[in-house]
Amino acid sequence: MTDLLLTEPVTLYGSNISYFTGKMENYFRVRGVSYDLRSMQFPAFKKRMAKKVGVMQMPAVILPDGRWMTDTTRMIDWFEQRLPGPGLMPADPLQRFLCLLLEDWADEWWWRPAMHYRWHYAEGARFASWHLAEELLGGVPGPVGLKRLYLQQRQRAGYTTGDGMCADNVVAVEAGVARLLATLQSIFSARPFLFGDRPSLADIGFSGPFFRHLALDPVPLEIIRQQAPAVLEWVARLWNTRLSDCASVWDNGIPEDVFSLLDDIGSGYLPYLCANTEAVADNKRRFDVQLDGVHYRGARCSRYRVWCLQQLRLHFMSMPEAAQEQGRTLLERHGCWESLWRHACLPLLPGQEEELPFRAHNKMLAVHQ
Ligand SMILES: N[C@@H](CCC(=O)N[C@@H](CS)C(=O)NCC(=O)O)C(=O)O
């Protein structure tokens, strides 16, 4: 693929407290791509973006040649294939697959707890609703209090209480975050990035839940300060790292402490993807599921996440045979294998998401479906 020559900054439309905008900013900074962050102004931006790429979601990237892009996973993949120099993907096929798996997990699974901490606690909801009302809805006539109420209700109905969170599972969901923090605390006490001295796609993936949410919103930030200061250091380190200054390569093999992340993927995320697949196949809009002892009632169906599961399978199958064998043993040992392949046939729509990053068919979760 020809090297991409960017003589002007790309435009990044989003919000400076948004999960996926924050992920894309971390990517651009680490990769040395200059960008110009602009806030989306509603309602005009919504129509404009939907016309350009098919959906309205944050962020949108506009290339200097005027092309619009969406979906951080596919955008990053697009840039990685075109930007010069060693990038964020390890050469070792199994490390590479694990980076893709961790990125997907960070995008899709940690979204709900991150939204929970922001919108469940009054402190978080006060901060975020004020910020978003001013930043995104400043041009909409009406009192700011009403806008804040609207935003709070929309986000809860779409992503927390409307996506399987309830009074009964708050403690267990927060315990899952504490488990993640404990593992990451021990990883980042041992080395600067997930796979060694150099950031990889997995670090960029985890900047989604951490940079603009868990390490920003008041309640989880205090938990991280007290319980996982090495994670806070990693958040700032990633933000302040340029890949071009990193001489070193990733460590060889898979660091042992990454295995407990795989255990969690095997007991929570992959079974969730299976339950979502079944619900989409049955044309449901919501489903109940018990994962790792946590009961989610009325979780939202996601066509996009059926595609995510398919992508994980394709990434696995694209590895050379020896790496697949090694990968299978590893995934079996950590409870990830059976659920990765449980449903032979995935209910994808014809051509689903094939035009990404220039056109999307589905939002990650359609709030008003
Ligand atoms: N898969 C997409 C997900 C983007 C996404 O869901 N962004 C959120 C905000 S951080 C959003 O815009 N949601 C749409 C909405 O709330 O209507 C990506 O990687 O870019």
- The distance from CA 284 to its chain's CA centroid, rounded to whole angstroms, is 24
pTM of the model as a whole:
0.98
Atom of ligand 1 nearest to the CA of 208: 10
How far apart, in Å, do the first and last CA atoms of the chain sit? 38
Question: How sure is the predictor about 2, in pLDDT bands with cuts at 50, 70 and 90?
Answer: low
- At residue 272's C-alpha, the angle toward residues 264 and 150, to 5°, is 105
Which pLDDT score, from 0 to 100, does residue 247 have? 75
Contact 88, 199 (CB under 8 A): yes
Ligand 1 mean position to 13 CA, how many Å? Answer: 12
- Per-residue pLDDT tens digits for 123-179: 999 999 999 999 999 999 999 999 999 999 999 999 999 999 999 999 999 999 999
Question: How sure is the predictor about 369, in pLDDT bands with cuts at 50, 70 and 90?
Answer: very low
Angstrom distance (rounded) from CA 336 to CA 5: 40
Ligand 1 mean position to 5 CA, how many Å? Answer: 28
Domain extent listing, the chain? 10-82
Question: How sure is the predictor about 37, in pLDDT bands with cuts at 50, 70 and 90?
Answer: very high
Q: Does domain 10-82 have CATH number 3.40.30.10?
A: yes
Q: Which of 159, 161, 162, 137 is nearest to 148 (CA)?
A: 137
Atom of ligand 1 nearest to the CA of 74: 19
Question: How sure is the predictor about 5, in pLDDT bands with cuts at 50, 70 and 90?
Answer: confident
Angstrom distance (rounded) from CA 190 to CA 186: 6
Ligand 1 mean position to 38 CA, how many Å? Answer: 16
Q: By three-state DSSP, how is residue 318 classified?
A: coil
Atom of ligand 1 nearest to the CA of 365: 6
